[in-house]
């Protein structure tokens, strides 16, 4: 039995999220089918993060145990031969004994893309959030810096989350100009349900001058979802990398 670790990317547009659900096409079910095709084995899969419907990944990490004779480094090519063209394995290798992509992750890096201009938007309709209005970038950057650190992120957690402990550490939150995009990078040790999308919605509220950067501290301290900004749409969100 060998444990395989694989780094994958996917365009989440046409999937009902990562996690397997009865009767739905998900990233997980598509990967499990692909592995079954190349190894003949029906197996369990673990992932670093369960991305939602329409959310993308450029560096999702998965693991599975196999008795196949395929060398660990060759799984990438073998799986790519049977995977649909919107899911690709970038790299595969043998994992350490007991490795778990989620519990062993030290940091996760998410990016959110906002598309800033009218022309060309049709090409990014599934891959960015279209927002052509003026934004105060300096204020957004100031607000982003206030989110960094160890906080109770209850205000940035969608209701319905099962997480009891809502204290997380955001080691970096940055707003970058990448014309024609605005790219918001968030790196942290873990994220609550919809946390990145609520962080971005809150930063955009600051950018639109409906909130001042100083208010971020009050939003955090209030521990109340209603104090933060809206949840931005899923298609701008990317799980970029998982750091072990």
51 contacts its own copies (rule: CB under 8 A): no
Q: Map the footprint of its own copies across residues 31-50, applying CB under 8 A.
A: none
Q: How far is the CB of 239 from its own copies (least distance, A)?
A: 13
Q: How many CB atoms lie within 10 A of CB 163?
A: 15
Decide: is 131 part of the binding site for its own copies (CB under 8 A): no
φ, ψ (nearest 5 deg) of residue 21: -140, 140
Q: Indicate which single residue of 122, 134, 159, 164 sits in contact with its own copies (rule: CB under 8 A).
A: 122
Nearer to its own copies, 88 or 174 (CB): 88
| Region of residue 149 (left: phi > 0; alpha: psi -120 to 50; beta: else) | left
Nearest alpha carbon to residue 32 among 227, 147, 41: 41
133 binds its own copies (CB under 8 A): no
DSSP state of 98: T
Calculate Rg over the CA atoms of the chain: 19
Ranges assigned E (strand) in 11-144: 46-47, 56-66, 87-94, 107-115, 129-130
Q: What is the distance, to the nearest Å, from the Cα of residue 203 to the centroid of all Cα atoms in its chain?
A: 17
Among 86, 104, 152, 189, the residue binding its own copies under the rule CB under 8 A is 86
Q: Which two tokens stand for residue 30?
A: 């598509």
Rounded Cα gap, residues 15 and 114, in angstroms: 21
Using rule CB under 8 A, residue 152 touches its own copies: no
Is residue 166 close enough to count as binding its own copies by CB under 8 A? no
Q: What angle do CA 26, 126, 89 make, to 5 degrees?
A: 50
Residues 198-237 interacting with its own copies (rule: CB under 8 A): none
| Residue among 52, 104, 136, 152 flagged as catalytic | 52
The span of 32-40, 116-124, 151-159, 193-201 binding its own copies (CB under 8 A) equals 116-124
Cβ proximity to its own copies: between 120 and 162 the closer is 120
**214: annotated active-site residue:** no
User: Minimal distance in Å, beta carbon 182 to its own copies?
Assistant: 18
Is residue 102 close enough to count as binding its own copies by CB under 8 A?
A: no
Catalytic positions, please? 52
Q: Where along the sequence are the contacts to its own copies (CB under 8 A)? A: 9-11, 56, 58, 85-88, 90, 118-123, 125, 127
């Amino acid at each position: 039995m060998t444990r395989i670790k694989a780094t994958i990317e996917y365009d989440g547009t046409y999937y009902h999220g990562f996690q397997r659900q009865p009767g739905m096409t998900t990233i997980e079910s598509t990967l499990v089918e692909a592995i079954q095709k190349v190894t003949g084995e029906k197996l369990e899969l673990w992932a670093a993060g369960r991305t939602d419907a329409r959310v993308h990944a450029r560096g999702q990490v998965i693991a599975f145990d196999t008795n196949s004779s395929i060398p660990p480094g060759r799984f990438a090519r073998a799986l790519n031969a049977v995977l649909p063209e919107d899911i690709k394995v970038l790299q595969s290798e043998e994992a350490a004994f007991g490795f778990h992509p989620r519990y062993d992750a030290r940091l996760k890096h998410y990016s959110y893309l906002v598309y800033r201009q009218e022309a060309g938007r049709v090409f990014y309709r599934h891959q960015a959030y279209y927002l052509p209005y003026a934004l105060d970038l300096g204020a957004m950057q100031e607000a982003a810096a206030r989110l960094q650190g160890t906080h109770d992120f209850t205000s940035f957690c969608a209701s319905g989350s099962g997480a009891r402990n809502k204290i997380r550490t955001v080691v970096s939150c940055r707003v970058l100009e990448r014309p024609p995009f605005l790219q918001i990078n968030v790196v942290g040790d873990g994220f609550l349900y919809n946390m990145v999308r609520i962080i971005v919605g809150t930063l955009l509220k600051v950018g639109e001058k409906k909130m001042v950067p100083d208010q971020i501290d009050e939003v955090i301290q209030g521990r109340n979802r209603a104090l933060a900004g809206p949840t931005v749409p899923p298609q701008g969100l990317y799980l970029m990398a998982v750091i072990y």
